[in-house]
Amino acid sequence: MATQSSNGSTIPSSSGSNSSFTNIHTDERLVVAVRIRPLGDAAESNCIQVLSRGTLSFDEGTRNKPKKYNYDHVFGESSSQEEVYQTTTAPLVQDVLNGYNAAVFAYGATGSGKTHTMLGPNPRKAATSGGGSSGEQQDSTAEATSGGGKSSPQGNEGLMIKAVADIFKFIEESEHPDNFK
Protein backbone atom coordinates (compact mmCIF):
# COMPACT_ATOMS: atom_id res chain seq x y z
CA MET A 1 0.00 0.00 0.00
CA ALA A 2 1.23 3.51 -0.72
CA THR A 3 0.39 6.83 0.84
CA GLN A 4 0.30 10.25 -0.77
CA SER A 5 2.44 12.86 0.94
CA SER A 6 1.53 16.51 1.36
CA ASN A 7 3.64 17.43 -1.67
CA GLY A 8 1.79 14.95 -3.89
CA SER A 9 4.49 12.26 -4.15
CA THR A 10 3.64 8.64 -3.47
CA ILE A 11 5.34 7.08 -0.48
CA PRO A 12 5.32 3.29 -0.04
CA SER A 13 4.40 1.93 3.37
CA SER A 14 6.74 -0.42 5.20
CA SER A 15 6.70 -3.98 3.91
CA GLY A 16 5.10 -6.65 6.03
CA SER A 17 3.02 -4.17 7.97
CA ASN A 18 -0.73 -4.03 8.01
CA SER A 19 -0.71 -0.35 8.88
CA SER A 20 -0.26 2.56 6.55
CA PHE A 21 2.84 4.53 7.52
CA THR A 22 3.07 8.05 6.18
CA ASN A 23 6.34 9.88 6.12
CA ILE A 24 6.02 13.29 7.67
CA HIS A 25 9.44 14.62 6.69
CA THR A 26 7.69 16.57 3.94
CA ASP A 27 5.70 18.38 6.63
CA GLU A 28 8.33 19.18 9.25
CA ARG A 29 6.49 20.54 12.23
CA LEU A 30 5.61 19.66 15.77
CA VAL A 31 2.55 17.43 15.97
CA VAL A 32 0.53 17.74 19.18
CA ALA A 33 -1.65 14.91 20.40
CA VAL A 34 -3.78 14.91 23.55
CA ARG A 35 -4.75 11.72 25.35
CA ILE A 36 -7.48 11.97 27.96
CA ARG A 37 -6.79 9.78 30.96
CA PRO A 38 -9.73 7.79 32.32
CA LEU A 39 -10.98 8.99 35.69
CA GLY A 40 -10.32 6.68 38.61
CA ASP A 41 -13.56 7.29 40.46
CA ALA A 42 -16.84 6.88 38.59
CA ALA A 43 -18.38 9.54 40.84
CA GLU A 44 -16.12 12.22 39.39
CA SER A 45 -17.37 14.15 36.41
CA ASN A 46 -15.05 14.82 33.51
CA CYS A 47 -14.58 18.45 32.53
CA ILE A 48 -13.02 17.45 29.19
CA GLN A 49 -15.03 16.06 26.29
CA VAL A 50 -13.72 14.83 22.95
CA LEU A 51 -15.66 16.60 20.21
CA SER A 52 -13.77 15.17 17.22
CA ARG A 53 -10.48 13.49 16.32
CA GLY A 54 -8.77 16.87 16.71
CA THR A 55 -10.96 18.93 19.03
CA LEU A 56 -11.80 18.83 22.71
CA SER A 57 -14.00 20.90 24.96
CA PHE A 58 -12.94 22.06 28.42
CA ASP A 59 -15.67 23.09 30.85
CA GLU A 60 -14.32 24.93 33.89
CA GLY A 61 -17.59 24.42 35.71
CA THR A 62 -18.23 28.15 35.85
CA ARG A 63 -20.91 30.18 34.12
CA ASN A 64 -18.63 30.61 31.13
CA LYS A 65 -19.18 28.54 28.03
CA PRO A 66 -16.91 25.52 27.62
CA LYS A 67 -13.79 26.36 25.63
CA LYS A 68 -12.84 24.43 22.51
CA TYR A 69 -9.24 23.54 21.72
CA ASN A 70 -7.87 22.11 18.48
CA TYR A 71 -4.94 19.69 18.23
CA ASP A 72 -3.55 17.39 15.58
CA HIS A 73 -4.98 14.35 17.40
CA VAL A 74 -7.26 13.92 20.40
CA PHE A 75 -7.60 10.48 21.99
CA GLY A 76 -10.48 9.77 24.33
CA GLU A 77 -10.51 7.71 27.51
CA SER A 78 -11.20 4.49 25.60
CA SER A 79 -8.35 4.90 23.09
CA SER A 80 -5.97 1.95 23.06
CA GLN A 81 -2.18 2.04 23.23
CA GLU A 82 -2.15 0.58 19.71
CA GLU A 83 -4.39 3.34 18.35
CA VAL A 84 -2.20 6.04 19.89
CA TYR A 85 0.97 4.31 18.61
CA GLN A 86 -0.27 3.82 15.05
CA THR A 87 -1.46 7.42 14.83
CA THR A 88 1.42 9.24 16.51
CA THR A 89 4.59 7.17 16.66
CA ALA A 90 4.59 4.46 13.99
CA PRO A 91 4.98 7.01 11.17
CA LEU A 92 7.97 8.50 13.00
CA VAL A 93 9.58 5.07 13.38
CA GLN A 94 9.29 4.60 9.63
CA ASP A 95 10.86 8.02 9.09
CA VAL A 96 13.76 7.09 11.40
CA LEU A 97 14.27 3.85 9.45
CA ASN A 98 14.42 5.98 6.30
CA GLY A 99 17.18 8.16 7.79
CA TYR A 100 15.23 11.07 9.23
CA ASN A 101 15.27 12.35 12.80
CA ALA A 102 12.26 12.12 15.07
CA ALA A 103 11.39 12.67 18.71
CA VAL A 104 8.43 11.69 20.84
CA PHE A 105 7.88 13.08 24.31
CA ALA A 106 5.07 13.26 26.82
CA TYR A 107 4.19 16.35 28.79
CA GLY A 108 1.68 16.73 31.58
CA ALA A 109 1.01 16.92 35.28
CA THR A 110 1.96 14.19 37.73
CA GLY A 111 -0.48 11.30 37.41
CA SER A 112 -1.76 12.36 33.99
CA GLY A 113 -0.71 9.13 32.25
CA LYS A 114 2.63 10.00 30.63
CA THR A 115 4.47 6.88 31.83
CA HIS A 116 1.54 4.61 30.99
CA THR A 117 1.40 5.98 27.45
CA MET A 118 5.15 5.89 26.85
CA LEU A 119 6.08 2.61 28.59
CA GLY A 120 2.87 0.75 29.40
CA PRO A 121 1.02 -0.21 32.56
CA ASN A 122 3.97 -1.94 34.34
CA PRO A 123 7.14 -0.13 33.21
CA ARG A 124 9.42 -1.41 35.99
CA LYS A 125 8.38 -5.06 35.92
CA ALA A 126 10.48 -5.92 32.85
CA ALA A 127 13.62 -4.32 34.26
CA THR A 128 13.28 -5.90 37.71
CA SER A 129 12.03 -9.39 36.85
CA GLY A 130 15.54 -10.56 35.88
CA GLY A 131 16.56 -11.34 39.43
CA GLY A 132 19.55 -9.13 40.03
CA SER A 133 22.37 -9.18 37.50
CA SER A 134 22.42 -6.49 34.86
CA GLY A 135 22.69 -9.14 32.13
CA GLU A 136 19.49 -10.76 33.33
CA GLN A 137 17.82 -7.36 33.51
CA GLN A 138 18.87 -6.58 29.94
CA ASP A 139 17.55 -9.97 28.76
CA SER A 140 14.26 -9.30 30.52
CA THR A 141 14.00 -5.84 28.99
CA ALA A 142 14.80 -7.25 25.55
CA GLU A 143 12.04 -9.83 26.00
CA ALA A 144 9.59 -7.08 26.90
CA THR A 145 10.50 -5.04 23.83
CA SER A 146 10.24 -8.05 21.54
CA GLY A 147 6.81 -8.97 22.83
CA GLY A 148 8.03 -12.02 24.78
CA GLY A 149 8.16 -10.34 28.17
CA LYS A 150 5.52 -10.00 30.81
CA SER A 151 5.70 -6.23 31.19
CA SER A 152 2.11 -5.72 30.08
CA PRO A 153 -0.73 -7.57 28.39
CA GLN A 154 -0.08 -8.17 24.70
CA GLY A 155 -0.89 -5.01 22.75
CA ASN A 156 -0.89 -2.79 25.82
CA GLU A 157 2.82 -1.93 25.68
CA GLY A 158 3.71 1.74 25.64
CA LEU A 159 4.71 3.77 22.61
CA MET A 160 8.45 3.41 23.21
CA ILE A 161 8.25 -0.38 23.71
CA LYS A 162 6.27 -0.69 20.47
CA ALA A 163 8.74 1.56 18.63
CA VAL A 164 11.77 -0.47 19.71
CA ALA A 165 9.95 -3.70 18.78
CA ASP A 166 9.18 -2.29 15.30
CA ILE A 167 12.81 -1.25 14.80
CA PHE A 168 14.08 -4.72 15.72
CA LYS A 169 11.41 -6.33 13.53
CA PHE A 170 12.59 -4.18 10.62
CA ILE A 171 16.19 -5.28 11.20
CA GLU A 172 15.22 -8.97 11.45
CA GLU A 173 13.20 -8.78 8.23
CA SER A 174 15.89 -6.83 6.38
CA GLU A 175 17.66 -8.49 3.46
CA HIS A 176 20.98 -7.44 5.04
CA PRO A 177 20.55 -7.55 8.84
CA ASP A 178 24.35 -7.49 9.30
CA ASN A 179 24.34 -3.87 8.10
CA PHE A 180 22.79 -2.91 11.44
CA LYS A 181 25.56 -4.28 13.69
How remote is the C-alpha of 83 from its chain's centroid? 8
Q: What are phi and psi of 135, to 5 degrees?
A: -65, -40
The annotation status of 147 as a binding-site residue, yes or no, is no
Is there a binding annotation on residue 114?
yes
Is 142 marked as binding a ligand?
Answer: no
87 is in an annotated binding site: no
Over 7-76, what HEC string results? CCCEEECCCCCCCCCCCCCCCCCCCCEEECCCCCCCCCCCCEEEEECCEEEECCCCCCCCEEEECCEEEC
Is residue 10 part of an annotated ligand binding site? no
127 annotated to a ligand binding site: no
| Annotated binding residue 112 | yes
Q: Is 155 known as a binding-site position?
A: no
Distance of alpha carbon 64 from the chain centroid:
34
- Residues making up the annotated binding site for ATP are 108-115
- Residues making up the annotated binding site are 108-115
